[in-house]
A and B are shown apart, each in its own frame.
Chain A
């Protein structure tokens, strides 16, 4: 085999290695959680729990994940880093990470949240009403805006959903840089190897 052909095979081998490495690096699982609600609600006998990345929260002292039915007068505790939403059909209750609440409701009519710790938001539909009772005994009603939110202390962050990440745009620049540098390095290595193959006077006899 001539040196040229050997180098062609070297480049092909390198490309093959690069493509295998690509697949190997990027084949990690994508976040597959279904976390928040869509806009259509159906009447139901109990609420449907959704959580950040389908992680577990504590309902009535038991660890449960997304999809679990939540009945009236249930206590819900969310650990730090895990938010939860309870879809009631006529209302939606969003609970921030690190909260502790008691959720009570009459299907189709009203929902009451007794807040012990953390933050909570109630959004109602139609004629349904919602109320949050704070730890100090004061209360917040949904009113005409059909939204009520409250925290156990001033200035705490109210929940925005259960996806567990803030909304943002664009690709992670550092990751992209690493990717481009890696690809560039591989290309340079390939070209160097190929170029050496065409040298009629290699340094080693």
Chain B
């Protein structure tokens, strides 16, 4: 009986001791991690060293110390990264970290070796491959580099635009080389390439890739359209815009207004080539009026209730036209109780020119009340004019502020090539 009790006591004590040992080990490991985490966030090198002393066999503490030394430019960072990778050689993140550190320390071959190990451990992850490709690139091994970068972009498609951009910069705008290196394989990649070419002033290539992309969603189409408009690639932009509309006009749409008589759906907030209100102004109201249009069933009614700034565009439309040609703009308007020192006018400005210079201006709409009448203005598109902006605004006043009251109806806009 005594022997059994002694044995039980011994077993209990052994169990207790092993648990205490495990708790102590866990305390040290946990404490080391805690200190390492804090040191990594605060760049406290002494705390990081304490973490390593507390848990010397933990790669995380060495990694954290390496990071802190790296950022505080103290010596020994690389050795800590090496130690971390050696302690946990199957962790690709540690090899990735070591690769970056080696490259920035000037050891490109060592970096490639470490990143190669990261690649071996995580062959389908984009991060090590992207890093590996970039180091190869900076070593001047372009063919290998682009092959790796391309593979990384297959794993992570968000890297593809950066790859295409790097190719453009590397081959200095050689579109053929960019297409060869970037080798688009699906609609998203083609669209990314189209956007790159649009930004770089190659609308022909942008459109070619856009067409090849096939069906793309409305958001992507809108983003691409915005880039084309920002780059003033109006013909290409028109094709992209029209392709997304059920009521798209046939042909290139040159010299044609969208909804010239306001008879169909007018969405003034939509980007593109329809009627647009850049921003709403207090004291100016736009609406479609079905009472007494000049023709058809509807016209645009603009009501001024004291808006004071004559220089702003109330409503406008981009119209693609033939460069170098002469055009005549015509529209119909009527007024009611208009009272202002700066009467409304319709202005044609060159959308292709950076300064958006005015090409033509209609005669001012009359004060008071006047029935429908036609207004015209002729202008010459410059050889570089791809599109004009036709906008309703007001003539400047002598007085400032320059309020306006009254109502104006507009209808039947048209451009005729002379």
The interface of chain A, by Cβ under 8 A from chain B, is: 1, 5, 8-9, 11-12, 15-16, 18-20, 22-23, 25-42, 44-46, 48, 50, 59-69, 71-74, 87, 161-163, 165-172, 175, 179, 183
Contact = CB atoms under 8 A, between A and B. Distances in A.
Contacts of A172: 38
Interface residues of B, number: 68
Contacts of A46: 137-138
A27 B40 contact: no
A56 B73 CA distance: 23
Interface stretch (B165-173, B252-260, B293-301, B374-382): B165-173
A121 to B, nearest CB: 14
Given A19-B26, A71-B166, A71-B169, A41 B134 contact: no
A60 to B, nearest CB: 5
B3 to A, nearest CB: 15
B211 interface: no
B317 interface: no
Given A22-B26, A25-B30, 11 more contacts: A26-B31, A30-B33, A30-B64, A38-B73, A48-B138, A67-B100, A67-B135, A167-B43, A172-B38, A175-B38, A183-B27
Most buried by A among B31, B46, B61, B81: B31
> Secondary structure of the B side of the interface?
helix
Contacts of B101: 34, 38
B106 A36 contact: no
A68 B29 contact: no
Contacts of A32: 40, 63, 67, 93-94, 97
A71 B108 CA distance: 18
Nearest to A33: B67
Nearest to B33: A26
B22 A19 contact: yes
29 contacts: A8-B15, A12-B19, A19-B26, A19-B27, A23-B26, A26-B34, A30-B40, A30-B64, A31-B37, A31-B64, A32-B40, A36-B71, A37-B73, A42-B106, A46-B137, A46-B138, A48-B103, A67-B100, A68-B134, A72-B169, A74-B169, A165-B41, A165-B43, A168-B43, A169-B42, A169-B47, A175-B34, A175-B38, A183-B27
A95 B230 CA distance: 27
Most buried by B among A28, A34, A61, A165: A34
> Secondary structure of the A side of the interface?
loop
A45 B72 contact: no
Contact of A27 (B33, B43, B73, B165): B33
Interface string B40-60: 111110110000000000001
Nearest to A47: B138
B175 interface: no
A5 B23 contact: no
A90 to B, nearest CB: 13
Nearest to B37: A30
B93 to A, nearest CB: 6
A48 B104 contact: yes
B66 to A, nearest CB: 8
B228 interface: no
User: What 7 A-B pairs come out closest when comparing CB atoms?
Assistant: A26-B30, A31-B40, A19-B26, A71-B169, A22-B26, A40-B106, A19-B23
B8 A35 contact: no
Contact of A71 (B23, B40, B170, B199): B170
Nearest to A74: B169
A1 B37 CA distance: 45
B16 interface: yes
Interface in B122-176: 127, 130-131, 134-135, 137-138, 140, 158-159, 161-162, 165-166, 169-170
Contacts of B71: 35-36, 161-163
A19 B16 contact: no
A41 B30 CA distance: 37
Interface in B71-89: 71-73, 77-78, 81
A166 B41 CA distance: 8
B272 to A, nearest CB: 21
A67 B131 contact: yes
Nearest to A15: B19
B15 A35 contact: no
Given A31-B37, A32-B67, A62-B162, A37 B22 contact: no
A38 B47 contact: no
Contacts of A183: 27
Nearest to B23: A19
Contact of B27 (A22, A48, A63): A22
A74 B127 CA distance: 22
A200 to B, nearest CB: 17
A69 B106 contact: no
Contacts of B20: 15
Nearest to A8: B12
B25 A34 contact: no
